[in-house]
Amino acid sequence: MFSKAAKVLKFLSEYSQDLWLTLRHNGYSPLVERRRRQFYKLIIETHTIEKGLSLPRRRALFGRDKVRFVMSTLESYDPSFSPLPAQMALGALDAYLRFHREQDIEDPLLDEVEAVLERWRDHQVEFRGGIKPFKLDAVNPTSPIAWLQSRSSLRMFDGVPVSPDTVREVVAAAQSAPSQCNRQSTHIHLYQDRETIDSLLALQGGSRGFSEHVGNLFVVTSEIAAWGGAGQRNQTYVDGALFSMCVLLSCHSIGLGACPLNLAVTNAVERKIKEAGGIPTGERLIMMIAFGNMISEPLRVAASPRRALDEILHWHRCTAS
Ligand SMILES: Cc1cc2nc3c(=O)[nH]c(=O)nc-3n(C[C@H](O)[C@H](O)[C@H](O)COP(=O)(O)O)c2cc1C
């Protein structure tokens, strides 16, 4: 009895410390350095422009508020912290402008974008990002690294349900994912009917602009019962994310497009998703994955350029030369 109470207290203590750590260091916290917060905010908002440009159908002058936000944040951003957000913002604004100019669309917003780009041309900041073509035959099968780097989140699906054999092939390959103590707590729920996909994607919210073309949807979950003590409180997400990555690579390996869809939702929304998808309450939602055959080329994807390696690779007392 005493040890059970101690376990519960340990959970409370650990979750309280998680709460403090998150409050102290999250992107809204005033205790976090302003330029660090701006770094992430600018990347996130710029990515929505890139993503908008990568969608199957693009509305004229979409994302006006985002474009204005990116332009104003760019003005106060210090590229010496990391050039990537500025490079991405300039690349995305440039692609946005070109997309509209190619269709002879005129608007004062586009003139503002042009003026911002002109000003930054003198700053020696490279324009990166926007959109890039996705070529099925560009994958070099003789180089595993080139193959790995050729995966992109794809949002241009033909909307047709893939065969049960193909689904089984994808998931069986993804089962090669490692899991803690080989406990394999990850489950994967498949949806191919329009009504359920629509209600699940409406609750998810991150597939606007391509949801109607999603004909195959996975929801990846992890069984909470596989985990015990307070130290393991986040392991559902670790194992679930590793499995999800393998699903993405497995789709890529057989030429299916796939796009991870975040389930960064409240508990109330998580419950609604479980209800809509017939998912047991004892499973934690990890992410959704839209997948399927792509429409015929030309295909485009958000460029999503990566940070300089030395920004994320930290060597700690390493001796190898
Ligand atoms: C956990 C997770 C959630 C994501 N959620 C969404 C989403 O809701 N909508 C979307 O269009 N893309 C989503 N993405 C895709 C990212 O935008 C994409 O992975 C990122 O820009 C890197 O690009 P790449 O996957 O093409 O390399 C998500 C990716 C991850 C890993």
Tell me which residue has its CA closest to atom 7 in ligand 1: 261
Do 80 and 191 lie in one domain? The reply is no
Cα 261 to averaged position of ligand 1 atoms, centre (Å): 6
**61-92 residue pLDDT tens:** 999 999 999 999 999 999 999 999 999 999 99
**169-212 residue pLDDT tens:** 999 999 999 999 999 999 999 999 999 999 999 999 999 999 99
Give the CATH number for residue 164.
3.40.109.10
Would you call 47 exposed, middle or buried from its count of C-beta atoms within 10 A (0-12, 13-18, 19+)? middle
In a domain, 154, yes or no: yes
Atom of ligand 1 nearest to the CA of 210: 11
- Mean pLDDT score, 271-277: 98
Distances (CA, A) of 43 to 136, 305, 306: 27, 10, 11
In a domain, 80, yes or no: yes
**114-170 residue pLDDT tens:** 999 999 988 888 999 899 999 877 666 678 998 999 999 999 999 999 999 999 999
Nearest by Cα to 86 from 96, 77, 94, 95: 77
Tell me which residue has its CA closest to atom 3 in ligand 1: 262
Do 291 and 173 lie in one domain? The reply is yes
- Mean pLDDT score, 235-245: 98
Would you call 190 exposed, middle or buried from its count of C-beta atoms within 10 A (0-12, 13-18, 19+)? middle
Distance CA(306)–CA(293), nearest Å, equals: 26
- Mean pLDDT score, 105-117: 96
Atom of ligand 1 nearest to the CA of 204: 8
In a domain, 232, yes or no: yes
Query: pLDDT value at position 141?
Result: 67
User: What pTM was computed for the model?
Assistant: 0.96
Cα 218 to averaged position of ligand 1 atoms, centre (Å): 15
Atom of ligand 1 nearest to the CA of 302: 26
Do 155 and 109 lie in one domain? The reply is no
Query: pLDDT value at position 177?
Result: 98
- Please identify which residue in the block is written with the tokens 């109470």: 5
Do 53 and 193 lie in one domain? The reply is no
**12-69 residue pLDDT tens:** 999 999 999 999 999 999 999 999 999 999 999 999 999 999 999 899 999 999 999 9
Do 140 and 121 lie in one domain? The reply is no
Nearest by Cα to 286 from 125, 198, 174: 174
Do 124 and 249 lie in one domain? The reply is no
Cα 152 to averaged position of ligand 1 atoms, centre (Å): 9
Number of folded domains that form the chain: 2
In a domain, 312, yes or no: no
Q: For residue 69, give its domain range.
A: 34-129
Do 211 and 284 lie in one domain? The reply is yes
In a domain, 58, yes or no: yes
Cα 299 to averaged position of ligand 1 atoms, centre (Å): 17
Nearest by Cα to 157 from 252, 250, 254, 257: 257
Do 140 and 258 lie in one domain? The reply is yes
Query: pLDDT value at position 138?
Result: 63
Distance CA(112)–CA(108), nearest Å, equals: 6
In a domain, 12, yes or no: no
**How do 283-292 and 217-223 pair as beta strands?**
antiparallel
Tell me which residue has its CA closest to atom 22 in ligand 1: 304
Do 280 and 143 lie in one domain? The reply is yes
Do 141 and 279 lie in one domain? The reply is yes
- Asked if residue 240 lies in contact with residue 286, where contact means CB atoms within 8 angstroms, the answer is yes
Ligand 1 pocket residues where CB is under 6 Å: 47, 51, 152-153, 155, 206-207, 259-262, 287, 301-302, 304
- Per-residue pLDDT for 275 more than 80? yes
Cα 287 to averaged position of ligand 1 atoms, centre (Å): 10
In a domain, 11, yes or no: no
- Residue 50 sits at the vertex; the CA angle it makes with 203 and 97, to the nearest 5 degrees, is 130
Average pLDDT score over the chain: 95
Atom of ligand 1 nearest to the CA of 47: 21
Do 168 and 93 lie in one domain? The reply is no
Cα 206 to averaged position of ligand 1 atoms, centre (Å): 9
Question: Ligand 1: which of 262, 289, 294, 300 to mutate, judged by most atoms within 8 Å of the beta carbon?
Answer: 262
Do 94 and 151 lie in one domain? The reply is no
In a domain, 241, yes or no: yes
